[in-house]
Amino acid sequence: MTTILNGKELSQTLRAEIAQQVAEFIQNTGVTPCLAAILVGDDPASQVYVRNKEKACAAVGMKSQLFRLPAETTEAELLELVARLNADDSVHGILCQLPLPKQISEKVILDAVSPDKDVDAFHPANVGLILQGRPRFLPCTPFGIQEMLKRYEIETAGKHVVVLGRSDIVGKPMAAMMVQRGLGADSTVTVCHSRTKDLAAVTRLADILIVAIGKPKFVTAEMVKDGAVVVDVGINRTDDGLVGDVDFDAVQGKTSAITPVPGGVGPLTITMLLGNTLKAAQDAVEKR
């Protein structure tokens, strides 16, 4: 029987744990963890994401600050704001909502955020620490996936993990995390992408298949071996509603466990951001 990996339920459990840790941290230190979010322009999806992050912070007892900037903001103006937040000891986490307007280099802005406040784990210093197996923070979506595998007691040690997609946000860090030593990792990892030859032959080797390519229902039943665990990161808006990168109805019967869309990986991303913000506050207090 297939296990449905319910990210919504797991997220609620994790947020309750984080809320308790935040309350204890505030009581012990007098410091309230604070996340600063920067939104440039009026992209509708970005506005929804940022609003959800604000609500999530409040629900676990954290502070949040939102900086709304017009679409015509220059790179220099945004860098000035980032520098100000880097220097503000009351701010523990900084996130700049992507995408940014075309006149602003995302790389320049993400590199400007202090690694100590980079709760998205996009800064090259933090990426390097992940590769070395001593992360300051873990990127939120891969972090949520790994936590889901742990909480559902899905064995990863010695298993063949195939990651479909090589983005800096999901695919690459996911592969780097799964190959490390320790619980929820110790895997043999293959990364597939648009240049992979005979893709289906590779994905059929996966004990755990993690898909993050942004193509609706791309992964079919013929691409999945019997008994595999399938984690679908995709969220695609279609005429039929939200669907993942995996053809859920066709694939589900072949799997031992699978994430739905919606309600799978998605809810965990903001939850792990909250955990990273708490860790940033804890680290800041330790350094004082």
Indicate the domain borders of the chain.
30-114, 140-266
Q: How confident is the model at residue 102 (pLDDT cuts 50, 70, 90)?
A: very high
Which one of the listed residues 116, 117, 118, 120 is annotated catalytic?
A: 120
The pLDDT, as a whole number, for residue 146 is: 98
pLDDT at 26: 98
Q: Tell me, what's the pLDDT at 75?
A: 98
Tell me what pLDDT residue 44 has: 83
Q: How far is the first Cα of the chain from the last one, in angstroms, to the nearest whole number?
A: 52
Average pLDDT over residues 122-140: 97
Q: Tell whether the model's pLDDT for residue 248 goes beyond 90.
A: yes
- For residue 204, pLDDT over 90 is answered with yes
Phi-psi sector, 93: left (phi>0), alpha (psi -120 to 50), beta: beta
CA atoms within 13 A on the CB side of 211: 37
Classify domain 140-266 at the CATH class level: alpha beta
**Choices 2.40.30.10, 3.40.50.10860, 1.10.357.10, 3.30.300.30: CATH for 30-114:** 3.40.50.10860
- 4 pLDDT band (50/70/90 cuts)? very high
Whether 42 is catalytic is no
Which of 97, 118, 146, 232 is the catalytic position? 97
Rounded to an integer, what distance in angstroms lies between the CA atom of residue 225 and that of residue 13?
Answer: 31
Model confidence at 40, pLDDT cuts 50, 70, 90, reads very high
* 3-state per-residue secondary structure call for the chain: CCEECCHHHHHHHHHHHHHHHHHHHHHHHCCCCEEEEEEECCCHHHHHHHHHHHHHHHHCCCEEEEEEECCCCCHHHHHHHHHHHHHCCCCCEEEECCCCCCCCCHHHHHHHCCHHHECCCCCHHHHHHHHCCCCCCCCHHHHHHHHHHHHCCCCCCCCEEEEECCCCCCHHHHHHHHCCCCCCCCCEEEEECCCCCCHHHHHCCCCEEEECCCCCCCECHHHCCCCEEEEECCCEEECCEEECCECHHHHHHHEEEECCCCCCCHHHHHHHHHHHHHHHHHHHHHHC
Task: For residue 186, indicate whether it is catalytic.
Answer: no
Q: Is 97 a catalytic residue?
A: yes
Segment 254-286, tens digit of pLDDT: 999 999 999 999 999 999 999 999 999 999 999
Pair 162, 210: CB distance under 8 Å: yes
Determine the pLDDT at residue 281: 98
pTM as predicted = 0.96
User: Are 217 and 246 in contact, with CB atoms under 8 Å apart?
Assistant: yes
Residue 249's pLDDT is what?
A: 96
